[in-house]
Amino acid sequence: MSSLNNLTDKLKSAQTPFYYYDLQLLQATLEACRTAAQPYGFHVHYALKANFNARVLQLIRDAGFGADCVSGNEVSKAIEVGFDPSKVVFAGVGKADKEINEALDFDIFCFNVESVQELEVINSLAAAKGKRARVALRINPNVDAHTHHNITTGLAENKFGINQWELADCAEVLTKAGNLWLEGIHFHVGSQITDMNVFKSLCVKVNEIKTWFEERGFNLNVLNVGGGLGVDYYHPDENAIPDFAAYFAIFDRYLDRRAGQEVHFELGRALVAQCGTLISKVLYVKKGIKKNFLVLDAGMTELMRPALYQAYHKIERLEGEAGSQVLKYDVVGPICESTDCFGKEVELADSERGDIIAIRTAGAYGEVMASRYNLREAIRSVYSD
């Protein structure tokens, strides 16, 4: 199990819970992504919302990736850790004036704009600074990503993006706005997508909308197709690194682009999910007639995903012995909420107080979503080096 196999004895004496990051796996994943994107000249921006741990960000920066941000503080964090402002993009459906002004001061590469009104606001704020803001229109392609309804973003019913019937209004604003420059168009259809046909459907929509703009005289330098590539939560060791080659090949084959037109991606989960594991200890074992419970010292305050949208994470007992009786447990946390549960009917070796439990594939949307609810201690991080 990655680099955890050799650390069981050390983990027994460690203060838990904490996030453990396999930095060697992270570097291997980044290299696989970069190698797969390079032949096509594709540009990859890392989505900071997946994980903004400082050590993780430093390795991603050193690998040459850009930064995709969805808040002003994420923009500031990206600049602070050394991402080149010319590789920083700022998305988000509700950018505050303060955040926009700070991003203008940083002279970031581009704002991914999500409404007609936002175009007008950015134009006004840029004019006050005597600047011209580069923008890309985040357009809702109405493509179903076939994932959990809480993590879809590209349907007409979602709050994200500009709907296609608003494109004429956008074109009118852009024609009149003296402090905006249309850099390109932007799309993001959802998260944890494992069906490559979804990306084929996206390419069809991008081609259609790109043509619409070019027929009206707009020169699009960038086609930003977002991210969403999923990972294997069920087999984290067998499939530790996503198939980036197959992913990028889809866009090379189905996306129409003219010479010199850049294709940008915004990958988050696919880069960092498998390198992170939540390490916890068993506080109590409750055995009943119909249910057995393992009560851990980690809870929904440390890993929100199972409570938020019933996400699956593989749960392992690190020091399980061969031949031990296997029992089914509901693996729960200590938080005073009924939804504080990591998994139901999880098969584990007969467990006892003090056993080390690893909750796998937690490097994305784990640490970043941690909270202090119940006045919990802030979660710590430990690294493989």
Per the model's pLDDT, the better-predicted residue between 229 and 158 turns out to be 229
pLDDT in tens, 315-368: 999 976 556 789 999 999 999 999 999 999 999 999 999 999 999 999 999 999
pLDDT in the model for residue 66: 98
CB burial of residue 304 (10 Å; 0-12, 13-18, 19+): buried
pLDDT at 230: 97
Alpha-carbon dihedral sign for residues 100, 103, 108, 112: negative
For residue 306, say if its preceding peptide bond is cis, omega within 30 degrees of 0.
Answer: no
Q: Which residues contact 337 (CB under 8 A, 6 or more apart)?
A: 300, 307
Could you state, in order of their start, the residue ranges of all structural domains in the chain? 2-18+274-383, 23-272
The CATH number of domain 23-272, selected from 3.90.1300.10, 3.40.718.10, 3.90.1150.10, 3.20.20.10: 3.20.20.10
Find the mean pLDDT for residues 161-172: 94
- Cα separation, 27 vs 85, in Å, equals 23
- The mean pLDDT value of the chain amounts to 93
The pLDDT of 30-36, averaged and rounded, is 98
- pLDDT digits 0-9 by tens, 173-188: 999 999 999 999 999 9
pLDDT at 105 over 80: yes
Kindly report the CATH class assigned to 2-18+274-383.
Answer: mainly beta
For residue 355, the SS3 value is coil
pTM score: 0.93
Q: Give the residue-averaged pLDDT of 184-212.
A: 95
Same fold, 2-18+274-383 and 23-272: no
- Residue 245 to residue 34: CA distance in whole angstroms: 10
